[in-house]
Amino acid sequence: MDQHRSTSQVPSRVASCRIREKTTGGLKQKQHRAATARYLSQDRERKRSEKPGKEMVSRPKRKGKGVGYARGRNDSNNSELDEAEWIRTRFNELSLIEERRLAAVCHGQLYQKRMKRAFDQKVRPRSYQTGDLVLKRILPPGTDNRGKWTPNYEGPYVVKKVFSGGALMLTTMDGEDFPSPVNSDVVKKYFA
């Protein structure tokens, strides 16, 4: 009847039992105990610790809490030499700090140059001249309620003036000027 129990129930005794030996009057008797969850977890820990490379590593014990280790006695000549040597090493360390700071600044500048070069390689040069027809990107996108059918560009507009650095002054086809210049990366040429 016990063989037909469901697997979700835990039997009172498990087939694998732990054996403890008792010595009574020179004879060894074997006593069986149930392998409950407590004993199984201890058995797992024991097996885990027996594996090679799984030794427990403990922290080294501190000799005194908050108290430094006692140093040996120094002679007066020895302490002067130690102090002079300490001053010399401290001065060398401080001079190395300045070197490291300069190296970090130099590294930052080189990094910025590399980033600028990588960015400039991907920028497509666009040249516009006075009188060119252009389309201007609608910013911010999605202000219209037509969803994905909303137009991305408006225009055409006429380039009135080209500034250095890529800024453009635009006018409508009727001759009305824009109040502020537009960057050249938000416009594209219109071929009519």
- Which residue type does 16 have? S
Please return the burial class of 170, using the count of CB atoms within 10 Å of its CB with bins 0-12, 13-18 and 19+. Answer: buried
Chain position carrying tokens 């009574």: 24
Domains and CATH numbers, the chain: 13-50 (no CATH), 133-189 (2.30.30.140)
∠135-139-144 over CA atoms, to 5°?
100
Reading the block at residue 112, the tokens are 């910025």
Interval 119-130 mean pLDDT: 88
End-to-end CA distance of the chain: 92
| 3-class state of residue 107 by DSSP | helix
Q: What is the pLDDT of residues 143-188, one digit of tens each?
A: 778 888 888 999 899 999 999 888 999 999 999 999 999 998 899 9
Q: What is the pLDDT of residues 51-77, one digit of tens each?
A: 666 555 566 665 555 555 455 555 555
Which are the contacts of 144, defined by CB distance < 8 A and separation ≥ 6?
A: 150, 151
pLDDT bracket for residue 126 (50, 70, 90): confident
How many whole angstroms separate alpha carbon 62 and alpha carbon 69? 10
pLDDT of residue 150: 87
Residue 185 near residue 127 (C-beta atoms within 8 A): no
pLDDT bracket for residue 13 (50, 70, 90): very low
Instruction: Say whether pLDDT at 9 is over 60.
Output: no
How many whole angstroms separate alpha carbon 182 and alpha carbon 137? 10
pLDDT bracket for residue 117 (50, 70, 90): very high
How many whole angstroms separate alpha carbon 192 and alpha carbon 187? 15
Interval 88-101 mean pLDDT: 88
Question: Left if phi > 0, otherwise alpha if psi is -120 to 50, otherwise beta: which for 155?
Answer: left
